[in-house]
């Protein structure tokens, strides 16, 4: 009997309790109440208990209602089209850990498509179906990378649910844009109260959310308590200024160059150097410029480098780290930092009005090229300078050793990220056409989804070449997986021909043809499924 359900009072309030007591102890030890002469005691007890049981059940009444929960906030977004809602249920049903591991077969990996599906649904501004929220939250609980998209899609009701279920508490911490439990950024009083009294994580979340919406107000809030914050907290707070960094931040950052903490000073200097118009950037430009010049006295123009002889107090104040890591000369270490922090725009004037391409093409005297170009790469990434990035990347078809600067793959990926979408994918397509897929994974990772037609074709052609070369497809499983998620679905038709099992040629790995056919089939199936998914989401 549920403890929460009220039972009717017996005519004799203690009658039932007495029956239970007698039953517990036994009729041999305790008399049955109201036993008639000649009755068998246990039978009389069972008779009476049966009557009481049915009577009690028949008289069941509802319990008093507890305090109703506060209703969830309205979600004004339009509902998903029915087909898209069904698809979501299917994607969510494909939870990891329910199937067998091993070979991937020809069927698409549904869970891998969930991030794209969510991004697309979010881009169209649909509301999540309420009944799907528990499964969405469970999925996000297991995969932190899904959380931002899931929480955006799940909307206010997910946060309402998370307050009722401790399993989903992560949603309250990680809400995107800081929507969760954070005061509205316009509610200055509540924001200030939370800033002054909140826990560290709440304060970071508040600051980050505010910075995204009102960068100046966020910085002012931070300045108001700056002097009293602990050093490690100051570092975290300062980091939030990376979002929407602007010239208005310069005075505060300039002051922070004298901070007690070395890490805070270094971060402030780094942020200032990303502002090409800042006083720090100008100081760095002057220092770097005095170290690098064009020498016209030789047969052709050559860049000469004269690294700084000392790291003076001014340099140190501007964030230059004095002590070089083991194995590096301190003069080249200082040079690298100066060039990295100097605005790239100042080099053209300094080096004879040359374009970035011309500057990068100039020979560098005395083995300084590697050091100088690497510093320019870091500067191009930090200052997000697409012109310099392009110059430093050079032609994609050029073999790496001959390229401008000894630029690693990781650095190339970073440089690519500063380019526009089209330029980026065109460059990677050119790289793959020239060098194949073995080094392309990292570069493909920075390309926009879906891949441009040229890039898609380059990848498919390269896969085709790899197959004809007789290797196994799992040597390319990383690129295959990316292709499943990133190729434009309209490429599916072109790929159909590749799903056939080819004749086994001499010298090929045994059975490779079948596995390739399977891998291409999965690719085509996944692309078709993605096309269907977009259609479903676009349906009125």
Q: Report yes or no: 446 and 413 within 8 Å, Cβ to Cβ.
A: yes
Nearest approach, Cβ of residue 183 and another protein (Å): 21
- Contacts (CB under 8 A) with another protein, residues 401-430: none
Query: Binding to another protein by residue 3, rule CB under 8 A?
Result: yes
- Of the candidate residues 35, 46, 294, 386, the single one contacting another protein (CB under 8 A): 46
Decide whether 202 or 488 has the Cβ nearer to another protein.
488
Nearest approach, Cβ of residue 413 and another protein (Å): 32
Could you identify the residue written with the tokens 């990292």?
A: 442
Nearest approach, Cβ of residue 129 and another protein (Å): 9
10 Å CB burial of residue 285 (0-12, 13-18, 19+) is: buried
What CA–CA distance (Å, rounded) separates 110 from 95?
A: 9
Binding range to another protein, per CB under 8 A, among 44-52, 224-232, 289-297, 354-362: 44-52
- Contacts (CB under 8 A) with another protein, residues 142-181: 157, 160-161, 164-165
In a 3-state reduction of DSSP, which class is residue 460? helix
Query: Binding to another protein by residue 309, rule CB under 8 A?
Result: no
Binding range to another protein, per CB under 8 A, among 226-234, 276-284, 317-325, 527-535: 527-535
Query: Binding to another protein by residue 294, rule CB under 8 A?
Result: no
Nearest approach, Cβ of residue 17 and another protein (Å): 9
What CA–CA distance (Å, rounded) separates 231 from 345?
A: 34
Nearest approach, Cβ of residue 138 and another protein (Å): 8
22's enclosing H/E stretch is helix 15-25
- Contacts (CB under 8 A) with another protein, residues 48-77: 49-50, 52-54, 56-72
The distance in angstroms from the start CA to the end CA of the chain is 51
Query: Binding to another protein by residue 141, rule CB under 8 A?
Result: no
Q: Report yes or no: 303 and 293 within 8 Å, Cβ to Cβ.
A: yes
What is the SS3 string spanning 89-154?
A: HHHHHCCCCCCCCCCCCCCCCHHHHHHHHHHHHHHHCCECCHHHHHHHHHHHHHCHHHHHHHHHHH
Decide whether 160 or 534 has the Cβ nearer to another protein.
160
Two tokens, residue 196: 């002054």
Q: Among the residues of 184-249, which ranges form H helices?
A: 188-197, 200-213, 215-225, 231-239
Decide whether 31 or 352 has the Cβ nearer to another protein.
31
Query: Binding to another protein by residue 36, rule CB under 8 A?
Result: no
Decide whether 89 or 361 has the Cβ nearer to another protein.
89
Half-sphere exposure of 87 (CA within 13 A, CB side): 24
Two tokens, residue 424: 């980026």
305's enclosing H/E stretch is strand 302-305
What CA–CA distance (Å, rounded) separates 249 from 218?
A: 11
- Of the candidate residues 110, 282, 386, 433, the single one contacting another protein (CB under 8 A): 110
Decide whether 100 or 299 has the Cβ nearer to another protein.
100
- Of the candidate residues 77, 95, 192, 213, the single one contacting another protein (CB under 8 A): 95
- Of the candidate residues 10, 106, 225, 304, the single one contacting another protein (CB under 8 A): 106
Decide whether 40 or 184 has the Cβ nearer to another protein.
40
- Contacts (CB under 8 A) with another protein, residues 117-136: 130-134
- Contacts (CB under 8 A) with another protein, residues 11-30: 19-20, 23-29
DSSP assigned state of 308: -
Binding range to another protein, per CB under 8 A, among 230-238, 241-249, 409-417, 524-532: 524-532
Decide whether 341 or 512 has the Cβ nearer to another protein.
512
Query: Binding to another protein by residue 9, rule CB under 8 A?
Result: no
What CA–CA distance (Å, rounded) separates 398 from 350?
A: 28
- Contacts (CB under 8 A) with another protein, residues 483-502: none
Two tokens, residue 240: 């939030």
Query: Binding to another protein by residue 534, rule CB under 8 A?
Result: no
Query: CB-based contacts of 474: which residues, under 8 Å, 6+ apart?
Result: 515
Decide whether 18 or 249 has the Cβ nearer to another protein.
18
Q: How many other CB atoms are there within 10 angstroms of residue 369's CB atom? A: 18
Nearest approach, Cβ of residue 492 and another protein (Å): 10
Write the CA distances from 519 to 433, 440, 479, integer angstroms: 21, 19, 11
Nearest approach, Cβ of residue 370 and another protein (Å): 49
Query: Binding to another protein by residue 84, rule CB under 8 A?
Result: no
Q: Is-cis flag, bond preceding 46, omega within 30?
A: no
Query: Binding to another protein by residue 86, rule CB under 8 A?
Result: yes
Q: Which residues pair with 294 in a beta bridge?
A: 303
Decide whether 104 or 382 has the Cβ nearer to another protein.
104
Binding pattern for the stretch 503-522 against another protein, x by CB under 8 A and - elsewhere: ------------------xx
Decide whether 87 or 378 has the Cβ nearer to another protein.
87
């Amino acid at each position: 009997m549920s403890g929460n359900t009220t039972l009717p009072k017996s005519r004799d309030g203690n009658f039932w309790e007495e029956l239970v007591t007698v039953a517990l102890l036994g009729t041999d030890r305790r008399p049955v109440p109201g036993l008639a002469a000649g009755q068998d005691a246990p039978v009389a007890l069972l008779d009476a208990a049966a009557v009481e049981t049915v009577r009690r059940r028949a008289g069941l009444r509802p319990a008093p209602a507890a305090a109703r929960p506060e209703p969830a906030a309205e979600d004004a977004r339009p509902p998903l089209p029915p087909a898209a809602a069904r698809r979501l249920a299917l994607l969510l049903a494909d939870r990891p850990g329910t199937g067998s591991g091993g070979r991937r077969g020809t069927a698409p990996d549904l869970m891998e498509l969930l991030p794209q599906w969510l991004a697309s649904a979010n881009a169209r501004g649909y509301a999540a179906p309420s009944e799907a929220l528990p499964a969405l939250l469970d999925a996000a609980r297991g995969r932190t990378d899904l959380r931002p998209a899931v929480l955006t899609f799940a909307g206010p009701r997910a946060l309402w649910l998370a307050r009722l279920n401790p399993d989903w508490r992560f949603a309250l911490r990680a809400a995107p844009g800081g929507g969760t439990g954070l005061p509205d950024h316009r509610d200055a009083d509540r924001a200030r109260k939370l800033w002054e009294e909140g826990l560290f994580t709440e304060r970071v979340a508040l600051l980050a959310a505010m910075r995204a919406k009102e960068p100046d107000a966020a910085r002012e809030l931070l300045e108001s308590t700056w002097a009293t914050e602990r050093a490690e907290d100051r570092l975290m707070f300062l980091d939030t200024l990376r979002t929407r960094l602007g010239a208005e931040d310069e005075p505060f950052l300039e002051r922070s160059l004298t901070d007690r903490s070395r890490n805070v000073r270094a971060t402030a200097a780094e942020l200032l150097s990303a502002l090409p118009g800042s006083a720090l950037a100008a100081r760095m430009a002057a220092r770097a410029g005095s170290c690098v010049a064009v020498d016209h006295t030789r047969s052709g123009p050559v860049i000469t480098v004269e690294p700084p002889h000392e790291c003076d107090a001014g340099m140190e104040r501007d964030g230059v780290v004095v002590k070089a890591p083991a194995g590096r000369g301190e003069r080249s270490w200082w040079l690298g930092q100066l060039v990295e922090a100097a605005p790239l725009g100042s080099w053209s004037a300094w080096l004879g009005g040359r374009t970035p391409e011309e500057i990068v093409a100039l020979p560098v005297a005395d083995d300084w090229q590697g050091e100088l170009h690497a510093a320019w790469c870091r500067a191009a990434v930090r200052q997000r300078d697409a012109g310099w990035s392009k110059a430093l990347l050079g032609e994609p078809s050029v073999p790496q050793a001959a390229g401008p600067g000894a630029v690693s793959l990781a650095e190339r990926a970073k440089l690519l990220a500063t380019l526009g979408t089209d330029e980026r994918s065109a460059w990677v397509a050119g790289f793959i056409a020239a060098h194949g897929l073995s080094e392309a994974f990292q570069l493909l990772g920075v390309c926009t989804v879906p891949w441009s037609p040229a890039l898609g074709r380059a990848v498919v052609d390269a896969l085709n070449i790899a197959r004809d070369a007789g290797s196994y497809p799992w040597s390319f499983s990383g690129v295959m997986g990316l292709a499943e998620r990133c190729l434009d679905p309209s490429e599916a038709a072109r790929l159909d021909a590749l799903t056939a099992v080819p004749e086994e040629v001499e010298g090929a790995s045994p059975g490779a043809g079948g596995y390739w056919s399977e891998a291409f089939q999965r690719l085509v199936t996944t692309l078709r499924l993605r096309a269907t998914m977009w259609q479903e989401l676009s349906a009125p």
